[in-house]
Each structure stands twice: as structure tokens, then as C-alpha cells.
A and B are shown apart, each in its own frame.
Chain A
Amino acid sequence: MSLDGKIALVTGATRGIGKAIALSLGEQGATVIGTATSENGATTITDFLKEANIKGRGIVLNVTDADAIDNVVSTIENEFGAPEILVNNAGITRDNLLMRMKDEEWDDIINTNLTPIFKLSKRCLRAMTKARWGRIITITSVVGAMGNAGQTNYAAAKAGVIGFSKSLAREVGARGITVNTVAPGFIDTDMTSSLPEAHKTAMLEHVPVKRLGEPEEIAAAVSYLASVNAGYVTGETLHVNGGMYMS
């Protein structure tokens, strides 16, 4: 299969979009290491990978801990080999109107959704430049492109990863490494299930496809960008949103 022999690191892989990405890359032959914030989460990942006959395992990583990032990547290098596919998926929300937003709510988002992209990419790049092949794919959001009231922090981080990815794409393009983002719209995950029903109905009015997206539909976009066939696509944001926003 197209990703045979490749090692993929997927952050935040316990559930939702991250889980779908881990399974999709694994189905294409990659060895998948999925990160979770807890031991329980890591075990969940190990179990679902095993059940799907995918090589790899779950591993605990708090992406806001720089030392932990270094250690986890070293562990993966020793156990499986250096990751040539990095999927930055881990992310959180701390929604609030700006006038009420606390410093912690801002900082949590930047520290979890933006800064780890820099640290993980930097840590994984050395092996990718040596291999003259690599894929860095970061999950951004439609909110990073169109904005959303109550999510100034989230939108800033998500727009940030797009600018980061475009710049890094320019730096490492000549090394066979592509750097892209995937921007989900309104996807049926735990992150969106907590939204009030009225809010969901109102949002769907703006989605021509008239339904929530499935995590697997995001995973399909990530798998495409990870594939050998996507080597000429870099610095791009692939929007998967049912037509809610057309760039």
C-alpha cells in the first residue's frame, strides 16, 4: 500500500478526528503512533490499532510539555524509526466572548493549539530532511479562515498554523517535505456535541450539504495529503466543510 513502511505520528488520537486519521493512515500501511493525554487514552489507541491490525501503539504526550515532546519522539525513533508523517491534530477549545475572556483561556489555546506545532515540527524535521521525504499536516479549522464569535483565541491559533505551514512549506519544499493544513467545518465529534442544539441547527443553515461532517471525511483529506501522490501539494489548506466556507 502507498504508506507501507512509513511511520506516522498523530497527536490527540484517542477519539474523534484524530482516531479516524490514525485508522486511515494505518489502513494505508503506515505504522501509527497516536498520542493521548492519559494512560487510559493511550491504551484505547493501542487497542483500536490492534483491532484494526495496524502496527504501532498509543503513547502519553502532553503537547504543552516541551521535554515530553522530545522524549516521546526519541522513544518512537528507538522503537519504530523516525516519524516521516506528522499529523498535528491535538487541540482544545476555551470559548468566550473577548470582553469576558480570561488570560488563561487565551494562553491555554495558544499553548495547546499553536506552540506545539512549532516544537513537534522542529523535532521531526531533522529526520525528514535526511530522508528527503516528509509530510507535516496540521488540523486547522474553518474558524481560522472565517472567524467565529466567541472564538477569538481558537481562531487566532488556527489561523496561526496556516501561516506557519505556508512559511515552513517554503523552507523545506526542496527536501521533498510538504507542509499542509486541513480545515474541518462542522464535524460530528465530542468538541461539537457540547454545542446547544439551537446553535447547531442555526449553523447547518449555512452548510449547503445540510449535515455535519464525519471524522472519516477529514481523515480522507489527511490521507490524501500524506500520500506519495500529493508530493506537489504544499502550503495548501484543504477545506472540508460541506460548502460552509468556500475559499
Chain B
Amino acid sequence: MSDIEARVKEIVVEQLGVNADEVTADASFIDDLGADSLDTVELVMALEEAFECEIPDEEAEKITTVKEAVSYINAHQS
């Protein structure tokens, strides 16, 4: 597991209050981890802070799993 993936999982566990073993790379924040729409907004804000980047709303909507978050951050981190 990459450092980024580990950090993303950590943030998901913290924000959504779920167990670490539930947070697989393909787990959907909403369908599998019980997040609501406000949870996902907060999650994206937490990711922005942790990785010091800005995720535009139209990109944020596409981030629905850990894997998608990791690939976005990999592609956009300076």
C-alpha cells in the first residue's frame, strides 16, 4: 500500500467513523460505508487539507472510493 493510500484510508476511517478493515480500495463511501452527501463534502475537505490541494466540485463528485481518491491525488499532487 502506498503512503498516499494509507493516509487516505486513515482519513476515511476518521471522517466516516468506520472500521479500518471495511475501508477497502473499492469500497464506495456512500453505498458501502454509509456516508451521506454532507459526509462526502467533509471528506473531500479533509483530503484537501491533508494533501494541500484544491479539488474542484466537478472532480470531487467523481471521487466515490479510496481508489479514486488516491488516483486523483497522485495525478494532481505537486
Contacts and interface: CB of A to CB of B under 8 A. Distances in A.
Interface residues of B, number: 4
Interface string B15-41: 000000000000000000000101000
A171 B38 contact: yes
Contacts of A171: 38
B45 A174 contact: no
9 contacts: A126-B45, A129-B38, A129-B42, A130-B42, A171-B38, A172-B38, A174-B36, A174-B38, A175-B38
Please list the 4 inter-chain residue pairs (A to B) with the smallest Cβ-Cβ separation, ordered nearest first. Answer: A129-B42, A126-B45, A171-B38, A172-B38
Q: Which of B36, B38, B45 has the largest number of chain A CB atoms within 10 A?
A: B38
Interface of A: 126, 129-130, 171-172, 174-175
A130 B38 CA distance: 12
Interface string B34-71: 00101000100100000000000000000000000000
A49 B42 CA distance: 35
A179 to B, nearest CB: 14
B25 to A, nearest CB: 26
A128 B36 CA distance: 18
A97 to B, nearest CB: 42
Contacts of B42: 129-130
Contacts of A129: 38, 42
B60 to A, nearest CB: 14
